[in-house]
Amino acid sequence: MPNKPHAVDSTFHALADPTRCAVVRALSQGNATVSDLARPFDMALPSFTQHLGVLENAGLIVSWREGRSRVCALNAGALRDAEDWMATARREWEARMDRFETHIHKMKKESSDD
């Protein structure tokens, strides 16, 4: 099948979980430490850091050490790539629907002109 995506399916996999979606939303408000990000979740820290690992492997976030903390930041470029993939599929579908509508309209007009 043509158009097999390479990176976007790992982006979608990373976002296929409400905790990870919530982390992306939180990081859209600015960088945060792992402990700050983990605080709202009723989850053991190792499980939470596994979620961060999935996001980082997919390139959606980056992280680095600052003193005794680990700081996370969003990589908005990965979001844009996945958005672009979806927008392309959607626009192709919309263009096809437009052509179909034009065709129907023309057929109806020809039928009424007879």
Shortest reach from residue 109's CB to a second copy, in Å? 23
9 binds a second copy (CB under 8 A): yes
Instruction: Verify binding: residue 106, a second copy, rule CB under 8 A.
Output: no
Helix axes 45-57, 8-15, angle to 10 degrees: 160
If binding is defined by CB under 8 A, does position 90 make contact with a second copy?
yes
List the one residue out of 98, 6, 101 whose CA is nearest residue 58. Answer: 6
Span between the terminal Cα atoms of the chain, in Å: 43
3-class secondary-structure state, position 24: helix
Q: Which of 44, 45, 50, 92 binds a second copy (CB under 8 A)?
A: 92
Alpha-helical (H) ranges within the chain are: 8-15, 18-28, 34-38, 45-57, 76-113
Range in contact with a second copy (rule: CB under 8 A) among 21-29, 45-53, 63-71, 104-112: 21-29
- Asked if 43 is part of the footprint of a second copy (rule: CB under 8 A), the reply reads no
Contact region with a second copy (CB under 8 A), list: 22-30, 45-53, 62-70, 102-110: 22-30
